């Protein structure tokens, strides 16, 4: 016999900033009573009504949670689907006005999806049609990084080369907040060493100083050629900044003989950063 997980019945709570007529409160209470209990530590959204308006669609929904503490939402991404799972609309909402929820409570709220938030032609959405709602996992990302060239890089590159590096930075994938990333963009091999040119990006909200940068170098077969820590002294990267650096790997430290550098990849050793 298996033990069923403990479930929690939420209590409905109405925002003091939304003047809801008493009759409508009874309607929300009715919908809320029909909902299944939540397992521990869940966040759930249930769509109640969908209305078409001139500017898009308005969805009334009940947000509820089973956390043992108060909950204040920052940003959420909500998806509206038809009953077959087809996505109709998606939007990121600022939930500041939604306010704070007491532990294990539920609150109704209205969400406006404007025309640009619709994923299907407006004509496909019917007033008061049946629908479903879901949260989409939301992670803050940093998209725009400012390229910083110190004096050596600024003096050592032509204007065309500077433009190439700048364009590269602008085309890189966004980073999640509080991540640091390296991307190799040029490879040079000499008789005794290989030199890798990389761009380091800082998606933290504060400046970072890197004293040691451990790097793994892989060849075209995806085998590790070497792993080396580079002491950088006081190498500082400002918040939301991208900064290039060159690193040389002596062939004396190679762990693989005759590596195939027809293609290559570098990775940080994260646990020692």
pLDDT tens digit sequence for 60-115: 999 999 988 889 888 899 999 999 999 999 999 999 899 999 999 999 999 999 99
Model confidence, pTM: 0.54
Confidence of residue 134 (pLDDT cuts 50, 70, 90): very high
- Containing 75, the helix (H) or strand (E) segment is strand 75-81
> Phi, psi (5° rounding) for residue 181?
-135, 145
Question: Which residues, including other chains, have CB under 8 Å from residue 9's CB and lie 6 or more apart?
Answer: 37, 104
User: What pLDDT score does 270 carry?
Assistant: 61
User: What pLDDT score does 234 carry?
Assistant: 84
Quickly count: other Cβ atoms within 10 Å of residue 96's Cβ: 10
Quote the mean pLDDT of the chain. Answer: 91
| DSSP 8-state secondary structure symbol assigned to residue 178 | T
Confidence of residue 252 (pLDDT cuts 50, 70, 90): very high
Pairing of β 193-202 and β 87-94: unpaired
Quickly count: other Cβ atoms within 10 Å of residue 62's Cβ: 20
Percent of the chain with pLDDT over 70: 96
User: What pLDDT score does 138 carry?
Assistant: 60
Would you call 68 exposed, middle or buried from its count of C-beta atoms within 10 A (0-12, 13-18, 19+)? exposed
What is the average pLDDT across 218-224? 94
Question: Which residues, including other chains, have CB under 8 Å from residue 49's CB and lie 6 or more apart?
Answer: 59, 60, 128
Chain length of the chain:
273
State how far the Cα of 201 lies from the Cα of 238, in Å rounded to an integer. Answer: 9
Rg of the chain over all Cα atoms, to the nearest angstrom: 27
CA distances from 261 to 215, 224, 249, 253, 254 (A): 16, 11, 13, 16, 13
User: What pLDDT score does 140 carry?
Assistant: 72
Q: Which of 84, 77, 80 is nearest to 122 (CA)?
A: 80
Confidence of residue 2 (pLDDT cuts 50, 70, 90): very low
User: What pLDDT score does 272 carry?
Assistant: 37
In this structure, are residues 237 and 216 in contact, taking their beta carbons and an 8 Å threshold?
no
Residue 1 has pLDDT above 60, yes or no: no
């Amino acid at each position: 016999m298996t033990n069923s997980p403990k479930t929690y019945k939420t209590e409905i709570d109405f925002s003091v900033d939304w003047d809801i007529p008493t009759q409508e409160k009874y309607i929300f209470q009715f919908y809320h009573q029909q909902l299944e209990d939540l397992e521990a530590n869940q966040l759930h959204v249930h769509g109640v009504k969908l209305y078409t308006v001139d500017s898009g669609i308005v969805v009334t929904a009940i947000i509820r949670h089973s956390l043992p503490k108060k909950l204040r939402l920052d940003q959420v991404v909500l998806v509206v689907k038809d009953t077959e799972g087809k996505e109709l609309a998606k939007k990121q909402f600022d939930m500041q006005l939604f306010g704070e929820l007491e532990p294990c409570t539920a609150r109704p709220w209205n969400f406006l999806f404007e025309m640009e938030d619709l994923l299907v032609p407006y004509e496909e959405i019917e007033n008061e049609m049946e629908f479903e709602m879901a949260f989409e996992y939301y992670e803050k990302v940093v998209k725009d990084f400012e390229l910083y060239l110190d004096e050596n890089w600024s003096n050592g590159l032509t204007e065309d080369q500077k433009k190439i590096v700048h364009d590269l930075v602008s085309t890189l994938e966004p980073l999640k907040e509080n991540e640091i990333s390296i991307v190799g963009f040029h490879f040079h091999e000499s008789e005794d060493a290989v030199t890798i040119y990389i761009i380091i990006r800082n998606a933290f909200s504060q400046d970072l100083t890197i004293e040691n940068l451990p790097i793994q170098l892989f060849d075209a077969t995806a085998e590790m050629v070497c792993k080396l820590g580079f002491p950088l002294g006081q190498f500082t990267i400002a918040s939301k900044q991208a900064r290039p650096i060159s690193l040389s790997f002596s062939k004396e430290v190679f762990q693989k003989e005759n590596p195939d550098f027809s293609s290559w990849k570098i990775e940080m050793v994260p646990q020692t950063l």
